[in-house]
Each structure stands twice: as structure tokens, then as C-alpha cells.
Structure 1
């Protein structure tokens, strides 16, 4: 759960390249974050606000392992977002790719402000890499927010700062930190004849995405901002800061006067004495009109922004750069992004499996079209048996895929589909037993062959229903349609049920559990081998949901209410009073399925699927 009032305090995104083989970037960043976290917790413990000592008595080695492997949750169950008032919270999560390598890792830490108890700081760090690449992408986001329940005037805006761990990451010796093709500087760079060429190359690079800040001095050596080092520190990782000494006449003529030549469009990109200029990506010195994108500020104006010992311009620039980020869909910033990456990887794997199954099914269809029945009946039966087994295996895999695609954690939905599979397998075993009993008798051979072909076609039709699904159900109406397609011999859905389903929004998982239990559990209760016992109790014991065969006395005496439970089916009026109840007690979200039992055709007829029909009780509530 994320807060709606989060304010960006610091935001950075950069790439890390190993300087030598064997450098573990992901592990290195995790170690830096663990050290930073430990230092934070040590300070919070002084105020009795830390999570580590209060939540678990874990040794340091165990914490390091859980932290680096992406399995740490303190307190238990915390998975990012809003923490607890006055307490810190932490979680890490990681994802392994198909080759078993760590693909991404994320860290979230929520801590209370030192002075404002209801203001919390939220630190998110994500590290990711593509399979086969040594380069890693690091995303850092620091925000602050007021905890839910706070009422009052918001506290003053905190001054801009750069987290210490950012400098630790940038200054680490085993790797190089870049933004695009620009290496990130860990401090301001004073330009001279030796390094001006690198500045020029970076400035004019068409692939540069990191802003460059150029500060010039006045003739007394004072920079446009009060403290260039402070500026470089506060925009660390968000921009590179360069300082040019305007007093050096020879250097000016050799460098800036040549780069921003007077009388050309490039002159409009220049940075005069005692000025600060911000060069955004995409500098084209031949397009003078575009120079307005790269704003400049004179020292006099910057000095006017000071208040006390604070440089207001530095604060403004730091916050502006933090807000200028646009997160890419491939970026991993927090724990939720790791979860999203895991889902995408799993979906890719499922799609690959589906493609292989579809190819296998197509080859089977081609083989069936080209098949010429054997003259020998025994050979033909053997062939049909092989086909029957192949179709059965395909059917099993399709059902497994359907369950995995649905991503339902509840075992009820899985059991419902497995029940259909078990039922089909029972039919197959019965057919195989009949073939064995007849012992290939000549007088029964044709009948057995026809029976096998019929069952093969039935199985292929079942598989076709699954393969024709373009996407898993996303609405209650689509769930109804899927149930009717999967079990056409057991369930029929009336138009009134679809209409009521279209007007209802509730617990999607609960709806599927109930609907999938109708052709399995409920159908077996009415038409299975054992039809003894109390229907309502048997259904409740097997599914956990309540079933009622009629309405209350007050509802039954109200003709208007009873007319809501009448439907037209096969030219006759039917009573759909029997109904299955969802677990919600709120009338607005109460899910109900009303049905009729067609004993002649052995069908469950669904007449209503959606919200609670009007009763004497709901009338009083209204």
C-alpha cells in the first residue's frame, strides 16, 4: 500500500559497469545498502523506533543472508509501501532468471522522521540486469510523506540531501557508474586544458541523457553559487557539475571561446562570467534557437535566492532534477517492480509452453487428416489407443496451463479443474476396459472402434475449448461462459444470469470457486452415484459455501419477490429459488447463484448470477 501524498526528495538512475571480471555488482550494491540500513537502525534504536531489535531476535549473519537473497520482511508480511507510525519497516525481494542467475533485487525501507513522528521517509533501491549482460541498472528513489491519520498543518519542507549510500555506490572501486554514455562524477570538476575536451565530448554527445551544470567564476574567483561543492553533492547522480575559472584568459581563448564562437549560433550556448548554465541532453550548437532549453542564471539573481545560510537556488535545482525523471517500464525501482518482473517471466514461460502445445496439436491434426484406417481391425484399435493416450496427455497439459494462467492461489479453483480431468480419465479407463473385455472379437470390433473415435473426438473438443480461449476470464460474464463451455453436458446458463452477472462486481476468486463447483460438486450431489444425505450440508462440507434450497417464509408470501425467482426455460416457467451464497455479509457485495435442477436432461440451469435478489430482509435494509 503506497501513500497518495508522497513527495520526491531524491531520484537517480544510472548504469554500473564492472571494471574487471568477477565483480558482483548486485551483491556489492546489496552490501552497501545493508551497511546503510544497519547504521540507520542503530540510530533509530536510540529512540526506540527501529524494527530489527523489536521484531526479531535474529543474528547478523541470518539478516545478511535474508537481505541479500531478497527474503527479508520486517515486520513479518511487510512488502513495501506505507510502514507503521513511529517505527521502521524493511523488505527486500529478488528474482532469478531461467538460467538460475539473479536478475533483479529491490530494497524498501520506511523510517520515521527524526523530528516529525507522523512524517516518514521511504527509500527504494532497485538493481536489475538483462540475461547475459554484465551491466546493471540501479534506480534510487527517496520520498517523504505524512502517515494516514495525520490532521494538521504539514511540517516545513526538508532541505535537499543526497543519501550517503549513493556516494558509496558511485565511489566504489570495482565498477564505473554512468548515466547513458556519461560517467557520473562524485564531485565538481574544475576544467582545464587537459579535461575540457572530455567536457566538450560529453556536452555534444547525441546519446547523453545526464544534465551538465557549468558554473563560471567572476573576475575575483567567486562562483555563481555560494558553494559549488554543496551543489555537486546535492545533485550527485542527477547531474555532473563543472567549474570554469573565468580569470584564466588563455584558457578561455583556448576552450570556451572556441566552443561557443562569437558570430555563430553556438555563441548563444555560451556561459558568461559569474553564470550557471544547465545543459539538458541534446545540445546542437548549429541550432541557436534551441539554446533557450538550456537555462542560465546570473550570480546576482542566484544570490537573491539565499535565505540565512541556505542557498535557495541549490535547493530549487536539486528538487527540479529529482522531479524530472520518467520511469521506464523496464526499470526496477521497488519491490512491486520485482513482483511484476517475476510475473512477466512466468507469463513468458507459459506462453512458450502454450506455443509448443499448439504446434503439437497441429501436427496431431495433420496426422489424423492423412491417416488411412488399417485393414486389420486390431491394428486400427492399437492406433486409436495411441491417439487416445496422446490426446489425454495434451488435455492434461492444457488443463494445467489453464490453472497456472488463472494464477488463483485458492486450491478450490484448481480442484474444480482437476475434477474435470479425473472424470475424463475415468471415461478413458472405462473405454479401455471395454476394449480389453471384448478381446478384439470380430463381431464387436466395429462398435469398439466407433466408440474410441467418439471418445477421441470428445476429448479433442474438450481441448479445443481450452485452446480457443484467447485470454483468461476477466469478468463474471466470461467466467459464466467458460464454465458453460467446459461442462456443456452439465451446465446451462440463461440470458438472465448473464445480464445479472454483467451488473455485479465482487470477489473474482470467490466467484470462480462457486461457479466451478456447480458442474463438479453440485452436479455430483444431484446426479452422481451417491445421492443420499442432506444436499445443503454435503455441499457446505465439500466447498465451504452455504447453499439454501428455498427462501424465508416472509419472502415466499410476497408475490412480487417470488416473481424475481421465476425464469423461462424450454418453453416453461421454472423456479430458481435454490441458491449458493458467497461469504460477504454486505448486501452490496453479497454474491448469489440461483439455479434450477433439470432432472430429465441431467443439467444444472443457472438462472441468476450476481448480486443478492430482493428479499424481505433486504427490503427492510433499504
Structure 2
């Protein structure tokens, strides 16, 4: 059996009045398609093609198996028929294709055709996993839908192999088609963009890809959107200006809460994803997932024929009372138990493989999340580092610009304060009272003020980050020659007037500036620089 579903569809087939064809012609369409792939010499004898039997290529690369069943033993008319055609991939030999056709007679001249195309890799294949294949219907489906001898329906909707163009004045027909309670397949509506008047995807290509599984309607021009609005189609159900919308069966415009079921792609989404990707997503959903269609068949493969035959035989035996019938019924139940046990074993193995795959994927997800956290941390670190580098570069640039504009050395403490602010504005800020104090300073040697404030701007920040307490004072004096005190003397602390002078308000916060750098004892050789570190 196939591991991967490639394409599937189910629809009703009936002959046209003019053709008068029957079941044998429907089977003949399938046989003709197989011969186009395997060559005219491939044995598809009608004597077994219409009943039961099989044929194979001498090299075993293609096998056809047929089985059928009549509901009544009194008639030879076939009510259930199935064919399996499996063959090796012509381009990738480890892949094998399985195509199942199931036909059920629903009326004397009406049949329900179920088609499933799947593929599997050889059980012992070891190598690079092949990529996912785009959904494509078998040619026989296209031929049946476009045939002049048959009509194909999904409920009340006639299937087509090309888009149905909605002309101006016919928008009401589109509305009726969407809301048709008998529609049993999805309907894809493709609108046109107001800017170019063209659709955002290729409707003909999409119609060919989903043939048998859905129908495509195309707006003739942008006026159709205006007509739909005039017809009072609720906004939740519209798809204007290049939007592509898939209307599931059972659409009801009077139920706005139902609108989410009818999925759509906007013009912007299609531009981002590309037309080919949107067409592929729609095709995969409609031709591989059964939730989009409401047509079902009791026979989709030769396995269903075997199951139905067992059910019919069991019903017959249960109505009989002789010993031979009871023994055969018991044997039938035993065989069914063996088959079901084998099926349970297969499903259990599949579940274990899926559970293991889920566990591995969960581990991969955890690893990816951890990698994402590391990346986010590193990104945040580098972002902060980059911001710091930009700030430092900006400060260096401003300092260099300030240095280029110096025409003479500072001649007063106020000049020194101004120059330090320009050169080290990224690390030192002076309050207004500090500038006033500098202007009133009686220090007779501006060079002392320069050395002291330069040390405060360059040496002190690095030491304050690395060293605390007495070690900081000692190390600062060792490197600069200036004394550093982190607190005031006892006499100053006792005098509340002096203590209040050591409190300043800056940018809405009160700061204690008891810490100070000092030089000399008496004027004009005395200098005191009171400060607070932002690190404290």
C-alpha cells in the first residue's frame, strides 16, 4: 500500500443521452489510460478487466489487479468494481506508484468513481529523501471530465477541466453556485485586481490541477466584484481585488460566523507567497485532504471489494443453520480476527514510528528554542555593545572636534571646566552650581584644576567600577597624586549647614556629593572637587 497520498477524488459519472455508453466503456477509459503508459502490448483482456483477474509486465515493474462483486447472486451485473495499477517510477526507481480505482453502481446507468493515487519508497531504501511532488491528477480524470460521452458531477455541480468565466450580469449565477446545498466539492473563485484587471494566479492551471476534486470560477472583469456587492453578498464572504477564495460545500451567506471555513488568499499574501505557491497550497488541500469534499464511496480499492464480499458471505451464513454453514462462519470470523490483528499490529507499528518521530521533533524543537534563546541573548549583547560603541565613537568624535577648536590653553578654573565638558561630556556632568563655583574659584594654577578634573573624568570611572572603599582612595592617589575622600570629616558632618551644602538636586533626583577630590589646604593653592558616581 501507498505511504503517501498524491491525489484523490470521488465523483459521479453518467453517460450523455447521445452516447448511450455503459459500464464497459467507463472501464475502457481506464484501460486506455494504462495502455498509454505501458504500451499497447500490455495485457488488459476485457474478459478479466470487467470482472476479476490481473496482468503484469514480464519485468514486474507494472501490475494490474481487478476484482468485482454483484450485490445479488441471481444477476451477473457488476455493482462494485475495483482496479489497482502499481508500477515503478520511471525516473526514481526506489519509488513505486499505486493507483486505485473504485466504481459503485448507484443507479442503472450512473456510477460513482473513486480515484486514489499514492506512492511509497522501497522498504529497504537508504539514501537522500526525495522532495515532495506537486499534486497532479491522472490523465484519465481529465479525459473523463472533458469527454463528450460522459458527464461528471460532485453532487449537483458539474465538474469542468477549465475555469467557468463569470460575465457581468451573471454574478447571481456564481452566488447560486456557491450557496447550492447540493454542491459536494469545493468551489474556487478567482477575482481580478483593480490596478491591472488581471488575476493574481493562473486559473486555467489551477483548474487543470484540481480537476475531479473541485471547480474554478473566474471573474471576467473587476465589475463582477461591484455586482456581487450590489447583490448584497456579505463582506465576510467576498473576495475582491485579486483575492482567491475556496468555498467549501454547505456555504450559507446568512451565517457570517461560518465565513472562516471558506479560506482565502489576499492580493498581498499572493504577492508574498508567489502565485505558484498559492496554487500548490490549494491543490494539495483539495486533492489530498478529504475534509474539503463531501462525496464518499464505499469502494475505493480492491481491498474494499474483499471486505464487502466477506460481509455479504457472513450475512448469508448467519441466516443458515446447518453445521457446514456454522463451520464456515466460524472460519470466516477467525480469518477476520487474524486480518484485524494483523491490521492492529501494522497500525501499532505505525503509531510507534509516529510517536518516535514526534519525540525526535520535540527534541529538535527544544534544541531550536535553546538556539533561539542563545541567539537572542547574543543579539541583545551585541546590540548593547554596538550602542556602547556608537556612544563611545560619538564621544570621541565630539572630543576630537573640541580638541581641534582649542586655540589657547585654559587660563582659569572655569575654562578648564568648559573644556573638560567638551572633551568628556559622555562621562562627566557639571551642575550649574559647580560652574558658578568654578567661576568664583581663587586657584592660581589652572593646570592643577586640569589635572584633577581630567583624572576625575578618565581614571575615576574605571576605578569606581573595579574597586570599593579605602582601596579606591589609595589606588586613585597612587595613579593621579590627588587625595580622594569618600566622606566628609567629623566637623563638617556635625555642622548641618555644611552638611546641607553636600546635597544637590540634579534631573529630579537628590544626590549626596560628600565624596571629593582635594588638593592643597589654603587659598590660592586649595582645590576641592565634590562629586557623586552614577555607579553608586
TM-score range, shorter chain: 0.5 to 0.7
Deviation at 1:20, TM superposition (A): 3.0
Query: Which of 43, 48, 57 does residue 66 from structure 1 map onto?
Result: 48
Within-5 A mapping of 1:400-549: 400-407=324-331
Secondary structure of the 1:311 match is helix
Give the equivalent residue in structure 1 for 2:164. Answer: 189
Give the structure-2-normalised TM-score. Answer: 0.57
Quote the residue 2:6 is aligned against: 9
How big is the shift at 1:195? 4.8
What's the offset of the Cα at 1:19? Answer: 3.2
In the other structure, the counterpart of 1:323 is 288
Q: Deviation at 1:25?
A: 4.0
Q: Residue 337 and residue 289 in structure 1: after superposition, are their counterparts in 2 closer, same or farther (change >3 A)?
A: same
- 1:195–1:168 distance in 2 versus 1, CA, 3 Å: farther
CA distance 1:151–1:473, shift in 2 (3 Å):
closer
Deviation >4 Å, runs of 4+: 326-330, 471-476
1:588-607 to 2 correspondences below 5 Å: none
What secondary structure, in the 3-state scheme, does the structure 1 residue paired with 2:322 have?
helix
Shift of the 100–112 alpha-carbon distance from structure 1 to 2, 3 Å rule, reads: same
Q: Contact conserved, 1:260 with 1:268, CA < 8 A, in 2? A: no
Match 1:89 to one of 47, 63, 73: 63
Alignment partner of 1:399 out of 314, 323, 341:
323
Residue in 1 aligned with 2:76? Answer: 100
How far did residue 27 of structure 1 move? Answer: 1.6
319-328 vs 340-349, which moves further = 319-328
* Mapping for residues 223-242 of structure 1, pairs under 5 Å: 223-225=199-201, 227-242=202-217
1:203: how far off? 0.9
1:298 aligns with 266
SS of aligned partner of 2:53:
coil
Kept in 2, the 8 Å contact 1:14–1:237? The answer is: yes
Give the deviation of 1:7 after TM superposition: 1.2
Q: How far did residue 143 of structure 1 move?
A: 0.9
Q: 1:398 to 1:108 in 2, by over 3 A?
A: same
In structure 1, the residue matched to 2:93 is 117
Structure 1 distance, partners of 2:277, 2:91, is 22
Is 1:314 matched with 2:297?
no
In the alignment, what sits opposite 2:193? 218
Contact 1:160 1:319 in 2 (8 A): yes
Match of residue 41 from structure 1: 38
Counterpart among 15, 18, 23 of residue 15 in structure 2: 18
- Say whether the 8 Å CA contact 2:179–2:250 is kept in structure 1: yes
Kindly provide the CA deviation profile for residues 162-186 of structure 1, in whole angstroms up to 9, marking residues without a partner as x: 2110011112223321111211122
How far 1:281 moved relative to its partner? 1.6
Give the direction of change, closer, same or farther, for the CA distance of 1:407–1:136 in structure 2 (3 Å limit). farther
- SS of the aligned residue for 1:241 comes to strand
Q: Which residue of 1 aligns with 2:300?
A: 333
Kindly tell me the number of residue pairs found equivalent between the two proteins. 333
Q: Determine helix, strand or coil for the equivalent of 1:30.
A: helix
Stretches of structure 2 lacking an aligned partner (at least 5 in a row): 339-536
- Distance (Å, rounded) in 2 between the aligned partners of 1:269 and 1:345: 47
- Mapped contact 1:139–1:331 kept (Cα < 8 A): no
Task: Tell me which of 168, 178, 182 is aligned to 1:203.
Answer: 178
- Tell me, yes or no, if structure 1 residue 140 matches structure 2 residue 115: yes
Q: Equivalents in 1 of 2:295, 2:155: separation in Å?
A: 14
SS in 2 for 1:346: helix
Which is higher, the Rg of structure 1 or of structure 2? 2
SS in 1 for 2:130: coil
Contact 1:89 1:109 in 2 (8 A): yes
Q: Secondary structure at the residue paired with 1:150?
A: coil
Q: SS of 2:39's equivalent?
A: helix
Listed one character per residue, the Cα deviations across residues 184-212 of structure 1 (whole Å, up to 9, x for unaligned) are 12211110146544332221122322111
Alpha-carbon contact 2:14-2:110 (below 8 Å) kept: yes
How many angstroms apart in 2 are the aligned matches of 1:129 and 1:405? Answer: 28
Residues in 1 aligned to 2:276 and 2:231: alpha-carbon distance in whole angstroms: 30
1:258 is matched with: 230
C-alpha spacing 1:65/1:194, structure 2 compared with 1 (3 Å)? farther
Residues 353-397 of structure 1, C-alpha deviation per residue, up to 9 Å, x if partnerless? 43xxxxxxxxxxxxxxxxxxxxxxxxxxxxxxxxxxxxxxxxxx6
User: Given that residues 224 and 298 in structure 1 are in contact (C-alpha distance below 8 angstroms), is that contact kept between their aligned partners in structure 2?
Assistant: no
Q: Is contact 1:95-1:342 (8 Å) kept?
A: yes
Q: 1:22 offset after TM fit, Å?
A: 8.3
Q: How does 1:242-391 map to 2 (within 5 A)?
A: 242-248=217-223, 251-253=224-226, 255-261=227-233, 266-306=234-274, 311-325=276-290, 330-351=297-318, 353-354=319-320
Change (3 A) 1:73 1:209: same
CA contact (8 A) 1:406 1:472 kept: yes
Cα-Cα RMSD? 2.9
Question: What is the alpha-carbon distance in structure 2 between the residues aligned to residue 239 and residue 472 of structure 1?
Answer: 43
Query: Are residues 199 and 25 of structure 1, via their aligned partners in 2, closer, same or farther at CA, if it must alter by over 3 Å?
Result: farther
Greater alpha carbon shift after TM alignment, 66-75 vs 237-246: 66-75
State the match for 2:135 in structure 1: 160
CA distance in 1, matches of 2:247, 2:170: 18
Cα 1:237–1:318 change in 2 (3 A) is same
Contact preservation (8 Å) 2:164, 2:218: yes
Distance 2:154 2:337 in 1: 44
| Structure 1: distance between partners of 2:295 and 2:322 | 35
- The question of whether the paired residues in 1 share the 8 Å contact of 2:154 and 2:295 is answered with no
Quick one: structure 1 residues 313 and 330, their matched pair in 2 at CA, closer, same or farther if it must change by over 3 Å? closer
